[in-house]
A and B are shown apart, each in its own frame.
Chain A
Amino acid sequence: MNYLKSHITLILALISILLSIFLFRVFNQILELYEKSIVNNYSIVVVSSSKIESLNMKEISSIEEIDIQKQIKSLQKKYKNIDFNKITLPYFYKLKLNSLPTPKELNRLKEKLKQEPYIKRVLTHSNTQTKIYNLLMLLKIITKTFMVITGVLGFLLIIKQLEVWKLSHSERMYIMELFGAPFWLKGAALFKIAFVDSFIAIISTMGIIYLITNSALYQNIISELNINFQIDYFKEFMILFVVSFTISLISSILVVMSKK
């Protein structure tokens, strides 16, 4: 019970920091993939009086001509008295973009396209795009804020723990110093605690991560988003390992270095 009492603060603080780092990274990756999938599925339609081979605009990644023969055939069936072959129809193109534009960027691009003399019409579906963009930005802000708050709370807990450590270890370290103990020996007990707590925190965090990423809710969200997202557990473990040990080691060094 005493062991748990003296260790729980650091372990909880580390778990909250590690989880916030993990979730921050995962959300960022998911949002990036989701953004890419939106960009892939999104296109601007332009109607042109002449053929377009290329457009010298950095926002545009590709131009694809829309085949309208199918539509013409169905129209021909409907309006038999009109000969569509005799009508000069414009060219229709799908423009794919490099990244998800903001509503402002989208308007700017629309104006730019309209300035080309052969482009007669530009369809951006801006209402739907703006909604998606705003929703994505809101998600990004919420997740970042949440992670920052969790991280800060974790650090506050660690500062509190440093004060407790200072109180409970300073006398022993002072006495050891009077007998000429080197730095590492003075802090040996603290370094041991930091090591054990870091290890417990990493294992607990990996357990929580495993539970989250294998939950039905998480799997549903990923499949709904229609993205191919896989977690590299070993990579995540290594990142959390380095972060956790660095935080614990720095905390214990700070306590050993601080004077009584």
Chain B
Amino acid sequence: MALVKANNLKIAYNSQYIIKDSNFSIEEGDFVFLTGISGSGKTSLIKSFYGEVRPEGELYIGPFNMAKIKRGSLAKLRKRLGIVFQDYKLIPEWNILRNVMLPLFIMGYDKNESEKKAMELLKKVKLSHKLDKFPAELSGGEQQRAAIARAIIHKPAMILADEPISGLDEYSASLVMDLFIMANKMGITVLIASHSLPQEFNVQYKHLHIEKGRVYELS
């Protein structure tokens, strides 16, 4: 079943269409790489998935058309997404444990249950020894792992990751990619925006590529 469906999708940036007349779909449980050169519109496309940028045409994420989505529905949709940013976007004044618990707070989970889930997950991302540290006290790779833990703790329908491994060393990058694979195995659809495809990747994936403003589905 299609989780994402785009028909004649257009996205404008500074009054110019950087994405135009694009049609593509993403099925539930897919692992998707979105590639394209810098400035091709990868970030804008990802932002349109979580309503930070309003597209034209049709872009369905589940039942929501992002071109017409209302504020209330947007909050509902965002609760079902897990977003991973290139700059991590962890809350600086909160410790790692609390940062990871954020989606559960929003969904109204009980504090003890949230804490238990967050601690389990932090163990899986190898950060159980840094629960009470603040983001600024962690390396880039560690912050990204915490950000991924935050993105998957509430078992979202889809994870959107914008350049999640750029700037990370090889070891941290492979740990981060393993976490995405783990999330995908949990049934979560994963969309990763990146300059290029990874050299070695042993999981079946779908490839979307942006070129000259159009999104192509490559086999």
Residues of A within 8 A of B (CB): 171-172, 175-182, 185
Residues of B within 8 A of A (CB): 50, 52, 74-79, 81, 83, 89-94, 102-103, 105-106
Q: Which residue from chain B places its CB closest to the CB of A189 in the assembled complex?
A: B93
CA distance A180 to B69 in the complex (A): 14
A178, B78: Cβ atoms closer than 8 Å:
yes
CA distance A171 to B90 in the complex (A): 9
Contact A171 to B92, CB < 8 A, known contacts A178-B50, A178-B83, A180-B75: yes
A179, B93: Cβ atoms closer than 8 Å:
no
Which are the 6 A-B pairs with shortest beta-carbon distances?
A180-B78, A180-B79, A180-B75, A181-B106, A172-B91, A175-B89
A185, B105: Cβ atoms closer than 8 Å:
yes
User: Which chain B positions have C-beta within 8 A of A178?
Assistant: 50, 52, 78, 83, 89
User: Which chain A positions have C-beta within 8 A of B90?
Assistant: 175
Q: Which residue from chain A places its CB closest to the CB of B150 in the assembled complex?
A: A179
CA distance A185 to B109 in the complex (A): 13
Q: Please name 6 pairs of A and B residues whose Cβ atoms are closer than 8 Å in the assembled complex, sorted by A.
A: A172-B91, A172-B93, A176-B91, A180-B78, A181-B75, A182-B75
CA distance A171 to B85 in the complex (A): 14
CA distance A158 to B44 in the complex (A): 37
Q: Which residue from chain A places its CB closest to the CB of B82 in the assembled complex?
A: A179
Contact A175 to B91, CB < 8 A, known contacts A180-B106, A185-B105, A185-B106: yes
User: Which chain A positions have C-beta within 8 A of B102?
Assistant: 175-176, 179
CA distance A54 to B62 in the complex (A): 88
Residue among B74, B77, B90, B91 having the largest count of chain A Cβ atoms under 10 Å: B91
Q: How far is the CB of A2 from chain B (nearest CB, A)?
A: 11
User: Which chain B positions have C-beta within 8 A of A181?
Assistant: 75, 105-106
A171, B75: Cβ atoms closer than 8 Å:
no
Q: Which of B74, B79, B83, B91 contacts A171 (CB 8 A)?
A: B91
Q: Which residue from chain B places its CB closest to the CB of A178 in the assembled complex?
A: B83
Q: Which residue from chain B places its CB closest to the CB of A173 in the assembled complex?
A: B91
User: Which chain B positions have C-beta within 8 A of A182?
Assistant: 75, 106
Contact A179 to B91, CB < 8 A, known contacts A185-B105, A185-B106: no
CA distance A180 to B79 in the complex (A): 5
Q: Which residue from chain A places its CB closest to the CB of B91 in the assembled complex?
A: A172
User: Which chain B positions have C-beta within 8 A of A180?
Assistant: 74-79, 81, 106
Q: How far is the CB of B73 from chain A (nearest CB, A)?
A: 10
CA distance A179 to B81 in the complex (A): 8
User: Which chain B positions have C-beta within 8 A of A172?
Assistant: 91-94
CA distance A176 to B106 in the complex (A): 8
CA distance A239 to B90 in the complex (A): 42
User: Which chain A positions have C-beta within 8 A of B79?
Assistant: 179-180
Q: How far is the CB of B72 from chain A (nearest CB, A)?
A: 10
CA distance A172 to B98 in the complex (A): 12
Residue among A178, A180, A181, A182 having the largest count of chain B Cβ atoms under 10 Å: A180
Q: How far is the CB of B28 from chain A (nearest CB, A)?
A: 20
Q: How far is the CB of B144 from chain A (nearest CB, A)?
A: 15
CA distance A178 to B77 in the complex (A): 10
B77, A179: Cβ atoms closer than 8 Å:
no
User: Which chain A positions have C-beta within 8 A of B103?
Assistant: 179
CA distance A179 to B102 in the complex (A): 8
5 new A-B contacts, CB < 8 A, other than A172-B94, A180-B74, are A176-B102, A181-B75, A181-B105, A181-B106, A182-B106
Q: Which residue from chain A places its CB closest to the CB of B77 in the assembled complex?
A: A180
User: Which chain A positions have C-beta within 8 A of B75?
Assistant: 180-182
Q: Which residue from chain A places its CB closest to the CB of B106 in the assembled complex?
A: A181
